[in-house]
Amino acid sequence: MDCLFCRMVAGDVPATVVHETDRTLAFRDINPQAPTHVLVIPKAHHPTVATLASDDPDLLGAVIRAARQVAVQEGLATEDGVEPGYRLVTNTGPAAGQTVHHVHLHLLGGRDLGWPPG
């Protein structure tokens, strides 16, 4: 299987890594849509957030906890608060625009993100 994000986990494709644990990796999106745009992934390959939630819910929790730590690093949240705030987006399937089929959370922040999203 040829998966871009698995290749990044393996170190075969360069990534600007901002956070890493034994089970998760976070790196800057190559085409940022906000001042902070980081992708947070499990190192293990799971196609979507839905399959990850079914197959390894503890790992999904680890990915969300990693995202929070990145948000704190980026000044988007505090250890005990949610100011100024950030958004986690998980595109699932073609209508949502999922292009990489290794589950990833988009962590967006640093500007007024607006609602509803496009």
> Would you please indicate which residues are annotated as catalytic (active-site) residues?
104
Which C-beta is closer to ligand AMP: that of 51 or that of 98? 98
Q: How many CB atoms lie within 10 A of CB 44?
A: 15
Rounded to the nearest whole angstrom, what is the least distance from the CB of residue 103 to ligand AMP in the complex? 9
Those residues whose C-beta lies under 8 Å from the C-beta of residue 38, and which sit 6 or more positions away, are: 18, 19, 26, 27, 28, 29, 67, 70, 74, 106, 107
Question: Which sign does the torsion angle of CA 96, 103, 11, 74 carry?
Answer: positive
Q: How many residues bind ligand AMP (CB under 6 A)?
A: 12
Which residues between 4 and 63 bind ligand AMP (CB under 6 A)?
4, 13, 15, 29-31, 39
Interface residues with Zn ion (CB under 5 A) are 3, 5-6, 45, 102
Interface residues with ligand AMP (CB under 6 A) are 4, 13, 15, 29-31, 39, 91, 97-100
